[in-house]
Structure 1
Amino acid sequence: MEDSASLKFEDWPNAVAFVPYVGSRYLEGFGGRRVLLLGESHYREDGWTDDPALTRPFTRKTFGDMETCERKGGGKFFDELDRLLTSKGTPALSDAAQAWERVAFCNLSQRFVGTAAGHRPSGSDFKDGGKVLVYAILPILKPEVILVLGRTAWRMFAHGDRAHQPVFHARHVNSEGRRRRYLEERHVWSLDYGNGMAWMTWVYHPSWNVDRWEDRAAALRHLLGCPHDWPVA
Structure 2
Amino acid sequence: MQEPFFEPWVGENYPSQAPKILVLGESHYGKPEWYTPAFTQYVVKDWALCQKGSSPFFTKIAKILLGKPYEWISLEEEHKLWNRVAFYNYVQQFVGDGPRMRPTPEMWAEAEEALDYVIAQLTPDIVIVTGKELGYHVGTFEKKYTGPAKFCYWTHPSARAFKKEDAVKAFDEAKNNYAK
* Alignment TM class, shorter chain as reference: 0.7 to 0.9
**Secondary structure of 2:177 counterpart:** coil
Aligned length: 177
> Could you tell me which residue of structure 1 aligns to residue 169 of structure 2?
218
- 2: CA distance, partners of 1:228 / 1:16: 30
Residue from 58, 71, 86 that aligns with 1:104: 86
**Secondary structure of 1:159 counterpart:** helix
Deviations 1:177-202 (A, max 9, x none): xxxxxxxxxxxxx932xxx4211121
- Identical counterparts, % of pairs: 27
Answer whether contact 1:66 1:100 (CA < 8 A) is retained: no
- 1: CA distance, partners of 2:149 / 2:94: 26
- 2: CA distance, partners of 1:225 / 1:215: 15
Answer whether contact 1:113 1:120 (CA < 8 A) is retained: yes
Alpha-carbon shift at residue 228 of structure 1 (Å): 4.8
**Secondary structure of 2:172 counterpart:** helix
Give structure 1 stretches of 5+ with no counterpart.
1-12, 162-189
**Secondary structure of 2:136 counterpart:** helix
Normalised to the residue count of structure 2, the TM-score between the two structures is 0.86
1:44 matched to 2:30? The reply is yes
Distance change (3 Å), C-alpha of 1:26 and 1:129: same
Residue from 39, 43, 55 that aligns with 1:62: 43
1:191 matched to 2:145? The reply is yes
- 2: CA distance, partners of 1:152 / 1:15: 22
Distance change (3 Å), C-alpha of 1:67 and 1:209: closer
- 2: CA distance, partners of 1:226 / 1:87: 17
Deviates more, 1:83-92 or 1:151-160: 83-92
Q: Which amino acid aligns with 2:75?
A: L
**Secondary structure of 1:147 counterpart:** strand
Give the number of the structure whose residues are more often helix, by fraction.
Answer: 2
**Secondary structure of 2:166 counterpart:** helix
Alpha-carbon shift at residue 72 of structure 1 (Å): 5.8
1:78 matched to 2:55? The reply is no
* Higher RCO (C-alpha 8 Å, min separation 6): 2
**Secondary structure of 1:160 counterpart:** helix
Residue from 89, 98, 112 that aligns with 1:116: 98
* Backbone CA RMSD of aligned residues: 2.4
Larger radius of gyration: 1
- 1: CA distance, partners of 2:101 / 2:91: 13
> Could you tell me which residue of structure 1 aligns to residue 141 of structure 2?
159
- 2: CA distance, partners of 1:92 / 1:132: 34
> Could you tell me which residue of structure 1 aligns to residue 14 of structure 2?
26
